[in-house]
Amino acid sequence: MAQLLEQSKKVIEAQLNGTSLRAISGSMIAYEGNVQFKSAGFGGGDGVLAGMKRRATGEKLSLMECQGHGRVFFAVNGQDVTVVDLNNETLQVESQQLLAFAGNLRTDVRFAGVSGASSGQGLFTTTVSGQGQVALLSAGGPLIHLEVSPQYPLIVDPDAFVAARGNVQSSFITDMSWRTVVGQDAGEAFQIRWDGQGVVLIQPAER
């Protein structure tokens, strides 16, 4: 399968040897070798449901497939990049933070919303399952890895959430005035609570 490497803090290098990978459209910044690019549609299946998901999440999630022999480099707006290896696991990713993925992986998009929320930020996650590699984006610096255990659930700002792995479940806390406290008076303030056993990856800057 294609190999994903952190070429620098802000650039992912994909090594193709007759293999292919999928990446967010518009993220390729350079390539060398005999590589073909084509639209891969949307990472969530076909049909009416996928069309609804596409409209809901916008065109940022449109994918391209890169196939052939050579090296391809990816970056998005100077954000930091991280490669995560999956070994028959599932990674839940904030859809805007997904850069590329390679291997025997399946993707789907799910809506994890709060009733009445209208901002659309942090409500759609892409699940990536199987064996392979996933390249993630983070704003403001490298990803921060925070452990979740049954004794210590984790509360996360939805704008800071990037990904979660392990046996973890999310729920929403809406009865808090935390945004007002920190000077961000949003009408639909909520936080994401993570329970279970695993790791949550957050970024040090908000979307």
Give residue-wise pLDDT tens across range 49-80: 555 455 555 444 688 999 999 999 999 999 99
Res. 132: pLDDT tops 90: yes
Question: How much is the pLDDT for 188?
Answer: 52
Contact assessment for residue 171 and residue 158, using Cβ atoms and an 8 Å cutoff: no
Close Cβ partners of 150 (under 8 Å, ≥ 6 residues apart): 195, 196, 197
Taking all residues of the chain, what is their mean pLDDT, rounded to a whole number? 84
Classified as helix, coil or strand, 37 is strand
One DSSP character per residue, 153-196 reads -EEE-TTTEEEEEEEEEEEEE-S--HHHHTT---TT--EEEEEE
Res. 83: pLDDT tops 50: yes
Using CA atoms, how far apart are residues 68 and 56, in angstroms rounded to an integer?
32
Contact assessment for residue 202 and residue 146, using Cβ atoms and an 8 Å cutoff: yes
Question: How much is the pLDDT for 100?
Answer: 96
Using CA atoms, how far apart are residues 128 and 148, in angstroms rounded to an integer?
20
Classified as helix, coil or strand, 114 is coil
Mean pLDDT check: name the lowest of 32-41, 103-112, 113-122.
Answer: 113-122
According to the per-residue pLDDT averaged within each range, which of 29-38, 157-166, 171-180 is highest?
Answer: 29-38
Question: How much is the pLDDT for 6?
Answer: 97
Amino acid symbol at 115: S
